[in-house]
């Protein structure tokens, strides 16, 4: 790209006031054009990120618009959509493809997929806007005032996600903004720094900012949790009300803030997928039940604060939580795994689907107290859950944790 940009000054009607200011400071009222840049070379191509940086009024937005004229097949990111449909309906008729598109942008939670754009948070709207551009198949995505309205954590996570999209899908990004705190996570290939008055510096910085995990991951810590930690995270989970017997709880902290939870629960003693994999015949003796309970646990809940989604933190957390668990085999039975293969990052392998209207039973049989831990199920809530999930056929995933 070769970028040149200037604006002719609008003619001014002379007045007593303009003559007063011109005379006091020795300024010619006809001050000439406002030059933003002349002949600025930018080595842009799809798969690269160009960040136009600088203070307000320095001309970065003008240069971004000029760059857009030279970028083929481009789309501008807008975080505002006047659409009353659920966002899963706005990305095409294929639900699996739409869910996958939302997932790579950090919007993999089921409840968010059922909301309209106006019901999303600021950070979710940014993610949704990215998904809209991805679904449109554009080679270049442009955004002015990049992450200007977002908090620091959300801005860093979304910037890190954009870097991943550029690398994995070959999409180019032309971004303009004033924030400097996102550069370590955005890792732009080129920074065009506008200083005003026609002064523009272009710096190639791909080698200076090597790829890696999000900048604050070293500040994340996994600590043992307890059942009382669950209510804080329940609002972000589509099965937030009922919770079966609990065997272990791990909580992810960012400083003093709780940002994720992983709950290990009891496996169903009768499980068709497990029987097929391990050669069991389905008849359950007490010795077999004890063997299963010693060797198997399941992920009954896994939730990450929405601000932290889309930056590889979830897979890293799930993997580390499983590594510290004492069971040789860990199961993950998830309906979301049918739409989004998130389990692979944490070392799980999909091994089938559960039958509809499953009669799988746990010791303790759902409501009340199981033999390994307490449950907050009531008879009424368990019956409601069974009714709501009668058409569910979740994926069965398993991890060799030996």
pLDDT tens, position by position, 256-276: 999 999 999 999 888 888 888
- Neighbouring-strand partners of residue 220: 254
CB atoms within 10 A of CB 39: 8
CB atoms within 10 A of CB 277: 15
pLDDT at 357 over 50: no
β strands within 205-345, DSSP E:
220-224, 246-254, 257-265, 296-304, 329-334
pLDDT at 368 over 50: no
What one-character-per-residue DSSP string does 141-164 give?
EEESSTTTTS-HHHHHHHHHHHHH
Angular region, 106: left φ>0, alpha ψ -120 to 50, beta rest? left
pTM exceeds 0.95 for this model = no
pLDDT tens, position by position, 301-344: 999 999 998 888 999 999 999 999 999 999 999 887 877 778 88
Take residue 258 and report the two structure tokens written for it: 């709780």
* Domains parsed from the chain with CATH numbers: 41-204 (3.40.50.300), 217-400 (3.40.630.30)
Lowest mean pLDDT among 162-171, 179-188, 237-246, 309-318: 237-246
Take residue 1 and report the two structure tokens written for it: 């790209």
Q: What's the rounded Cα separation, in Å, for the pair 129 and 151?
A: 17
- Whether 161 and 134 have beta carbons less than 8 Å apart is answered as no
CB atoms within 10 A of CB 360: 14
pLDDT at 32 over 70: no
Contacts of 11 (CB under 8 A, 6+ apart): none
pLDDT at 355 over 80: no
Element (H, E) at 178: none
Q: What's the rounded Cα separation, in Å, for the pair 157 and 66?
A: 28
Question: Residue 372 phi/psi, 5° resolution?
Answer: -110, -10
């Amino acid at each position: 790209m070769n970028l040149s940009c200037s604006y002719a000054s609008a003619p001014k009607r002379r007045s007593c006031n303009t003559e007063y200011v011109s005379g006091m400071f020795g300024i010619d009222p006809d001050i000439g054009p406002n030059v933003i840049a002349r002949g600025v070379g930018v080595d842009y191509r799809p798969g690269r990120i160009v960040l136009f940086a600088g203070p307000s009024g320095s001309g970065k937005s003008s240069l971004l618009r000029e760059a857009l004229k030279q970028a083929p097949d481009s789309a501008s990111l807008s975080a505002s959509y006047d659409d009353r449909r659920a966002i899963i309906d706005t990305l095409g008729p294929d639900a699996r493809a739409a869910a996958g598109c939302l997932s790579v942008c950090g919007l993999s939670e089921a409840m968010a997929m059922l909301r309209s754009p106006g019901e999303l948070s600021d950070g979710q709207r940014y993610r949704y806007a990215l998904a809209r551009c991805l679904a449109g198949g554009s080679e270049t995505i442009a955004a002015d005032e990049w992450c200007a309205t977002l908090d620091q954590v959300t801005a860093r996570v979304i910037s890190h996600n954009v870097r991943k999209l550029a690398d994995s899908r070959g999409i180019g990004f032309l971004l303009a903004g004033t924030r400097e705190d996102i550069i370590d996570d955005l890792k732009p290939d080129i920074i065009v720094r506008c200083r005003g008055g026609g002064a523009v510096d272009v710096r190639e910085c791909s080698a200076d900012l090597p790829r890696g995990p999000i900048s604050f991951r070293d500040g994340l810590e996994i600590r043992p949790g307890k059942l009382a930690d669950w209510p804080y995270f329940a609002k972000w989970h589509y099965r937030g009300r009922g919770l079966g017997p609990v065997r272990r709880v791990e909580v992810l902290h960012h400083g003093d803030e709780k940002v994720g939870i992983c709950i290990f629960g009891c496996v169903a003693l009768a499980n068709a997928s497990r029987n097929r994999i391990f050669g069991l015949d389905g008849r359950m003796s007490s010795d077999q039940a004890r063997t299963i309970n010693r060797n198997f646990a399941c992920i009954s809940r896994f939730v990450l604060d929405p601000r932290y989604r889309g930056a590889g933190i979830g897979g890293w957390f799930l993997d580390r939580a499983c590594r510290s668990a004492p069971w040789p085999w860990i199961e993950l039975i998830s309906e979301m795994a049918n739409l989004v293969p998130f389990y692979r990052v944490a070392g799980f392998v999909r091994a089938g689907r559960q039958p509809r209207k499953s009669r799988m039973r746990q010791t303790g049989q759902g409501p009340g107290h199981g033999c390994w831990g307490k449950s907050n199920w009531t008879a009424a809530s368990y019956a409601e859950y069974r009714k709501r999930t009668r058409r569910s056929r979740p994926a069965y995933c398993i991890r060799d944790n030996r």
